[in-house]
Structure formats: structure tokens, C-alpha cells
Amino acid sequence: MNTIYKRFSTSSYYLLLFCLLSIFSACKKEYEDFPYADIVSFTVKDANGESIKAVIDEKNLTIYWPSGQAVPDNIIPTIVVSERANVSPASGQSVAFKETTRFVVTAQNGTTKEYLIKKVINQPLLKINISSGVLVYNTKNFVNRGSNINVTGDNIIANKEQTKAFLVNTANNTEKEVAIATITPIALSVTVDNTVPDGIYQLKIVSGQRSVVLERSFGVAYGRPTITPVELSAIKLTLKLGEEFVLTGASRIELVNKFSIRNAANKQIYDLIIKETKTGQLTLKVPDNLPIGSYDLYSYNYPAGEYYAGGPVSGIFDDVITIVN
């Protein structure tokens, strides 16, 4: 009896083991690892905290960024992927908002799928033209340093952080940023300051993701030398024969090569002596033989420049100048 029982037990054991292996094998086939490696949804926040859902295709995550909003360098996406898959970089991780940023989804069974960011800025085209500020002399376009170029157009972002102006040197394509004085959605004014080097330039406007380089080129120059009435008022009302005095001026007064005054009695013009010139200053001397008396008018000459004619400029003194012995 004991022998028969042992044989039965051994046979039963192997039969039971076979059944268990068969069941396990069947279960294994029934629960194979998931092969799905898709991004189901991809959402980011715009500058105002509103959700933007990407349009997803087989390769791209297309994000349509709102017009007028600054485009960030980085985004923090919320990502939903296929069941039992994972994604790298992970959902909630900050990533560069660039079209080279790649996401890899790995399915449970090891299958992988890649997606690239594609950004589309919902910003209308920038349309601009120069309305004033560029002058013409001898068929040459030019802008005086210290003056403004005025631009009109459409779709300008009226924010100095998002809209910038540059002068592009046509000789070497270098760019110099210049200040925007005023800005609206349809117009802006750009200041060409005294630090802009000589050269031929084109105006470039960048507004958000849009940029335009205007075809019209122009030289940058100093304006013609001028002596303002305020600067002339520094002349003493009474000067002696042989006396020297200094005129200071902000507009290249040192280029003046002749300065004359008119005798109020005989209506004759007499030249003062230019003793010295240096930046912003003109030193004049009253000739020893100048007729004494009252002088009511002045005139001065300067040589021609590339963008202006030479000439005399004349005017009336606010107060008569008296020359005495």
C-alpha cells in the first residue's frame, strides 16, 4: 500500500506542475507589455497663465503662441502619455522653448517614439515705412545726428521691451541699437544719437517675432555748424578794440571760418579775427582798426559738407554791440 501511494503522489505532482506551467504561460500571453508610446496631450501656460494645448501629429508638438505676448526662453509642459509609458523630459520639467527640444516616449515593452517642439507665433506681419526724418541733399539721403527718424505702419507692438530699433551698416552688416523715443501700434520715432559712426545705414525694426529692414538707405552726419541766439547772447555788450572773447557752441562752432559784424551807422560789414578754434569753441578778436560805434548784425561762414552747402548765416543781435577804444 505504501508503494502504490508514493507512485500516485509522484505522478500527481508532475501533473500538477504541468498544469501550473500551462496556466502561467497562458497568463503571460494574456498580459503582454503595452507597446504604446504616444503623447496624448501636451499643455503649456502662456504669459497670462492661460493654457495652450499643442497640436500633436506623428512627429511634432505644434504650439501656437499668442500675438503680442513675449515668447519665453523656457516652458513647463504638462504631458499625458500612453498607458504604462513614460516620457523624457518628464511632465512638469522646464525645457527650452526651441524647435530643437526633443521628447522621447518609451512604451512598457521598450518601444520608443520621438516628438519635436514646433512653435508658431500668432503675430501678424510687421508693415512699416519711413514717414519723415530722412533728408536729401544732392540726391543723397541722410539723417542728422541728434534727430529722429519717424516711422508709420501697422502691427507694431507698443512696448519698448518687445520692439527694438537698429541701424544696419550696409558696408559690414553690423547693427547698432538706437533708442525708441515714442511708440504706438501704428507709429514710432527713433533717435539717431551722436554715438552713431559715419557710414551708410538701413533702419531695422524688430517687434516681437517679426522684423523688417527698410530698403531706403541713408548716411549719418552732423548737421551744418550753427551758432544759436542764446550762444551769441554771451558776447559782452561792450567790447574794446583788440579785445579777445570766446564763443562756445554745441553744434560744431569750431568749423566756422569767418565771423563778421555790421556797423549800424555806415552799414559796412567788418570781419573779426578768428584767433583759435577747438571743439565747441571759437576765439575771436576785435581788430585794432575796427571803427568804433554800434554793431547790429552778425554773419558767419562755414565750409560745405557732404550733406549740406557751405554758406553764410546772418542775423540780428538781440542787443546792439558797442565797440569802444
Residue 226 — pLDDT band, cuts 50, 70, 90?
very high
Residue type, 106: T
What is the Cα–Cα distance from 76 to 66, expressed in whole angstroms?
17
Q: How many CB atoms lie within 10 A of CB 322?
A: 15
pLDDT in tens, 30-87: 568 999 999 999 999 999 999 999 999 999 999 999 877 888 999 999 999 999 999 9
* pTM summary value: 0.64
Q: At the topology level of CATH, where does 127-221 sit? A: Immunoglobulin-like (2.60.40)
Class of the CATH-defined domain 39-121: mainly beta
pLDDT of residue 12: 60
CATH topology of domain 229-324: Coagulation Factor XIII; Chain A, domain 1 (2.70.50)
How are strands ordered across the β-sheet holding 311-324? 238-240, 311-324, 293-302, 258-263, 269-271
- The residues pairing with 192 across neighbouring beta strands, listed in sequence order, are 147
What is the Cα–Cα distance from 256 to 87, expressed in whole angstroms? 74
Residue ranges per domain, the chain? 39-121, 127-221, 229-324
Same fold, 127-221 and 229-324: no
